[in-house]
Amino acid sequence: MFFPCCVDIVIFYLYLTDMDNYFKEGEKPISHKTAIKVFLWLYDSAWKIVIPVLRLNKRLADGYEQRILKKKLPKAELWIQAASVGESYLAVELIKNLRPEFPTRILVTTNTKQGLEILERSIIDILKEHKGINIFVAYFPFDKPSIMKKAANQVRPKIMVLLESEIWPGLLYTLKKYACTTIVINGRIAEKSLKRYLVWPSLWRALRPDKIFAISEDDAGRFAKLFGTKNVNVMPNIKFDRLGYTENLPQKADPIEKIIAPGTYLIILGSVGREEEAKVEKVILDIRRRQPNTVIGLFPRHLQRIKHWRNTLIRLSIPFILRSNAKTLVPSDAIILWDTFGELNFAYRHSNAAFVGGSLAPLGGQNFLEALTGGVIPVIGPYWNNFYWIGNEIVKQGLVRIALNWKQIADILIENTKEPPSHEDVINKALMYLKNRRGGTAQACSIITKILNKSNSSPNSKDL
């Protein structure tokens, strides 16, 4: 979910509190339809206040003109919204396997610069193989209802695909008025998010997508609580289909070969979140004390944390090199602070051991399947609830190791560097585990194609 902080506070915690009994006309509550209109007016007003401030945000400054529709969006029959990096890879997977019967224009939007870069570099190869489609990439507009109305009139989509947990009231309301078919693919929703939405459940029932395909029975149950049981289904997670591939990385020489000498102990600390940084500091110090001849590749979850890690390593008197400055082989005891994007999967392929972050603090975990893609058994912390859908059997089979604290993580990482299984064996065992769990991409593409074919003979709705 992506909401500006003040909108989150004003709308969801103040205005939505006891919403069903909030509006009165004398002694009678006003109609639910009117209440929704009032909500949307307040929501629009809150965005109006917030949007000028958002330009000061470094992450949102990129593509700001597009987010407010100063730059027009292209017309497209299919609109896919992919929030960030993970969802952008899912969007690429869908488009690669989509086989529409008619020439189709596809717009893919994302909220982040990293997501945009993934999409832009991936569509070049896709377009070489798919002659019947045109693909456009853009930043997702701010969810201000008046902006979304304008976006719908520009794009005129026949189908809107929301990947994973993209629930936007302004967008959903606009698409319902526009009579666009809206589906959630690879849907997931956390219990914490659900509780917030359920402050006003009748709002979300009114805005519910036409179809929801969740990645687990638990996620389907949470979607059903929010939107009702109608058209809520379970599908295999598309991420299962992608294990064993190279994350659609551009075809280029392996950049890690230039900086890591053969036979070097390499430990990757991947996708480290802000809330777990203090514990990861201890992991680094412990590894350097017990096994000094080890290269540590440190990948913050967000690049804006590079400055923090630079200051931290200086404070700890630990020598380091920025990845952008590493042009030749690094020393065998180096710490590489990764300030470049798109090389984590290459690094996993060269590593002896890897920790996948977001799991040492209650953040839900990051995608440890990416480490398995590189052929290394990941160690994670105790907080991995965002990935319970993978199944605990993967832990029982030894393809993932769970540590309860930073000390256990350091112990396992050092152990794995000394006797690492071969990358080929890890990948083969992972593929065997996932053999019966695949098929989400084919199912999703079939659903999208059927809707596109059905709507192809139907004219778009009139302008809003």
pLDDT value for 458: 60
Task: Name which residue leads in pLDDT, 411 or 246.
Answer: 411
pLDDT value for 342: 84
Helix (H, G, I), strand (E, B) or coil at 80: strand
Q: What is the CATH number of domain 255-437?
A: 3.40.50.2000
Instruction: Give the Å distances, CA to CA, from 310 to 271, 313, 336, 338, 421.
Output: 16, 5, 11, 11, 33
What is the H or E stretch that residue 179 is in?
none
**Beta strands 133-139; 104-110: pairing state:** parallel
Q: Residue holding tokens 């975990």?
A: 365
* Alpha carbon distance 216, 237 (integer Å): 8
Instruction: For residue 455, give every residue at least 6 positions away whose Cβ sits within 8 Å of its Cβ, in sequence order, or none.
Output: 77, 158, 159, 181
- Taking only the tens place, the pLDDT of each residue in 90-143 is 999 999 999 998 899 999 999 999 999 999 999 888 888 887 899 999 999 999
- Taking only the tens place, the pLDDT of each residue in 136-193 is 999 999 999 999 999 999 999 999 999 998 899 999 999 999 889 999 999 999 888 8
Contact (CB, 8 A) for 21 and 29? yes
Pick from 184, 242, 249: nearest CA to 211: 184
Is residue 435 very low, low, confident or very high in pLDDT (cuts 50, 70, 90)? confident
- Looking at the chain, the whole-number percentage of residues with pLDDT higher than 90 is 68
**Which residue spans of the chain are classified as CATH 3.40.50.2000?**
255-437
> Among 19-28, 91-100, 265-274, which is the least confidently predicted range?
19-28
pLDDT value for 15: 43
Q: Would you state the torsion angle of the CA atoms of residues 88, 90, 93, 95, taken in this order, to the nearest 10 degrees? A: -70
- E-only strand ranges, 218-339: 232-234, 266-272, 295-300, 321-322, 335-337
> Among 36-50, 270-284, 444-458, which is the least confidently predicted range?
444-458
Mean pLDDT along residues 267-283 = 98
pLDDT value for 459: 56
Contact (CB, 8 A) for 272 and 299? yes
Contact (CB, 8 A) for 400 and 368? yes
Instruction: For residue 347, give every residue at least 6 positions away whose Cβ sits within 8 Å of its Cβ, in sequence order, or none.
Output: 256, 266, 268, 270, 297, 299, 338, 374
pLDDT value for 243: 64
**Which residue spans of the chain are classified as CATH 3.40.50.11720?**
67-236+440-456
Quick one: how many helices (H) and strands (E) in the chain? Answer: 20, 16
Is residue 30 very low, low, confident or very high in pLDDT (cuts 50, 70, 90)? low
pLDDT value for 244: 53
Please give the distance of CA 41 from its chain centroid, rounded to a whole number: 29
Answer yes or no: CATH 3.40.50.11720 is held by domain 67-236+440-456.
yes
Contact (CB, 8 A) for 14 and 43? no
